[in-house]
Amino acid sequence: MKLVVGLGNPGAQYAETRHNIGWMVLDRLADRAGKSGRGRQRDSAETVELRWKGMEITLAKPLTYMNDSGVAVQKLMMRGHVPLTDVLVIADDFALPFGKLRFRESGSHGGHNGLRSIIDVLGTEKYARLRVGIGQPGRGAIDHVLSRFAADERTRLPILLDACADAAEAWVREGTSKASNRFNSFELQAPGAADGATVGVPQPAPGEVGGPADGAGIRRTKTGWRKLLPGGDNDGGGRQ
């Protein structure tokens, strides 16, 4: 079984903040699988169970608050007998530009309290993580990670969440090394602006890279994968 953990904080005051982008990615994955709103609480986390292309996958949002994320991760691993090699943690990173993705097979917490907790509880840095850039703070770090995305960022957020979901699916299929080869070079484009397009330049056609969804609700992203937007058919399955 694969365990994909998105880090975040429970509570309406934290919903859709930069620090909760890990939860937002899991919501996108659940949407794709037709499992939106079907989570259940266990092992100090909200979980969704998926079967995707013959693989068992658990999506998990720790409910322990960011600083104790490791408690939930350990419980989930013990219940499912999940080895570290089958765990992916998705977390925000303000050291990366907004929209940049970075896979790592191991490494330090980099000041992220959720990653720090996982390392402390598991006693190792050797677990895969997908860091999602939320942009560098122009103010205090805590205020930044707990803030919501700016208007221009929100217009690009759906594209970013699609790319993150693609990256997680690639990790499930191929592992960290191959997924990182593709997604660590990902460049986030503005909606309707592919490969440097600017205002006044005709937008790509529906269904093409950077363009709107086509009549079937399908959009192609810069990663080359075809996507079904929420509602379409699918084939599967603190820093404080």
- Positions annotated as catalytic residues are 19
- On whether the CB atoms of residues 20 and 14 are closer than 8 A, the answer is yes
Find, among 227, 232, 187, the residue nearest to 206 by Cα.
227
* DSSP codes of every residue in 114-163: HHHHHHHHHT-S-SEEEEEE----SS-HHHHHTSBPPHHHHHHHHHHHHH
Token pair of 134 as six digits? 């939320």
- On whether the CB atoms of residues 161 and 16 are closer than 8 A, the answer is no
- Cβ within 8 Å of residue 107, ≥6 positions away: 125, 129
SS3 221: coil
Find, among 127, 4, 7, 21, the residue nearest to 59 by Cα.
4
What's the chain's Rg over C-alpha atoms?
A: 17
